[in-house]
Structure 1
Amino acid sequence: MPACKKFRHAPLENEDELDIIFDMSTCTNEFARVPGVDDVVQPIAIDVDDSPTPTPTSDRRPKKRVAEGSPAKKPIKNFRDKQFKRLVDVFVEKASSSKAATNSPANDVVMNEISEMLDSVIQAGADEGSDEHFYATQLLIKKEYRDVFATLKKPEVKLAWLRRTWEKRKKR
């Protein structure tokens, strides 16, 4: 039997002592106040049969005030909804990135640019699979290196730049 059922169906311990302590304690809501409500709360009237009958002060509840700069959308209510929204966002992002990755290579400008530059490295005298070719494949991934490489005119200068840049990058 779970612990909560044990306490739910068991009698109170020390019931006589609890009666002595709380016998004279009552809550009438006579002095209860709600922030933002201007109406005066009237005490509850008690009928002859001792059943409380509330006396409402107004028929409508006051509308909630909207905070300045709050979004117009309804906020997400609980942790499960937040996590589900996060999961959906990640799924959509992944789907859009995989969609971009499946585009044909003919439409990929960066891939074409890197391919042309690697051809230029091969024409400069570096064999495919050589150290210089490997350096180029690693360095030309970044746009800033591609921009510098594209400005170089002489093939021997391109190979020297690849070696120097690779060594400088390796030291960091």
Structure 2
Amino acid sequence: MAADWSEENTRIIVELFVKQVRMGNRPNTHLTPSAYEEVHNEFKMRTGLSYKQAQLKNKWDKLKNDYNMFKKLRLRETGGGWDVEKNTVKQDPEWWKKAAKDIPGCGKFRKQGLRNEEGPRVMFEDITSDGTDHWNPSSGVPPPSSAALPNVLDIDAIQDLDNENTEDQAIPSDEGASGLTQKRLGKFVHDGSKKPKTALVMQEQITRIGDIAERSQSSFESFIKNDDTTSVKSVMDAVLECGAEEGSDEHYIATELMARRDIREIFMHMTARARKSWLRRKYDDKYSK
């Protein structure tokens, strides 16, 4: 039968996909066959609908495409024209017309942005690319080692020594002996009238690259240190420590809630004694109606 991806069914399937990703059942760009089987069974239990694995995969691909498209759309808007209520770009028709040429299909987000955005972010953020190579500490991803090279290494400033005049240069000897010369070997000239020689340029550029790499590494390590207390692993360890054992209702609702950083921060701010009862109430609020 044809799949019915209503807003509610989409919300449920995203929850189930996120659960499998958090369990480590997405080794590459898709879930494992056994993970799809679990999604199928739980989706059927909650909705009464039985979809084939191919239909679930198609929905996964559709969600990934929408997330990547919306991510590019968000990055395109740099002028502050963002409608917070609708979670989408607030611009005139001409802007959207140009955007549609660069990001085919993005017009679907003109009236309403991506729904359930937090779920697709967990599912796809580390396996999608917006085409940029820029990095900042909030991304949680260190810069690629080659990112600094194009802006640092000035190839035009480098000269091949094979093309230089390598004839010995004669200078008066220290004794001032007539007709005698000394050879100046390995001496590189670098003044305003000549381009810098290869060795000196390379040394300068390598030093600059090293400085940039050191600063980037320092920033990244600082970010990791500060973020560790609210990482998914740290928070889920705290979930177990408060008595919410795997397989319990409290642990299940935690796997859904802790995908959001703000929820993780709230949870870690609670006393250890209050955490389990809070998870219980969250589960009851959602599933005991």
TM over 0.5: no
Bigger relative contact order, structure 1 or 2 (CA pairs below 8 A, ≥6 apart): 2
Larger radius of gyration: 1
User: TM-score, length-normalised on structure 1?
Assistant: 0.36
**Normalising to structure 2: TM-score of the pair?**
0.24
Question: Higher helix fraction: Structure 1 or Structure 2?
Answer: 2
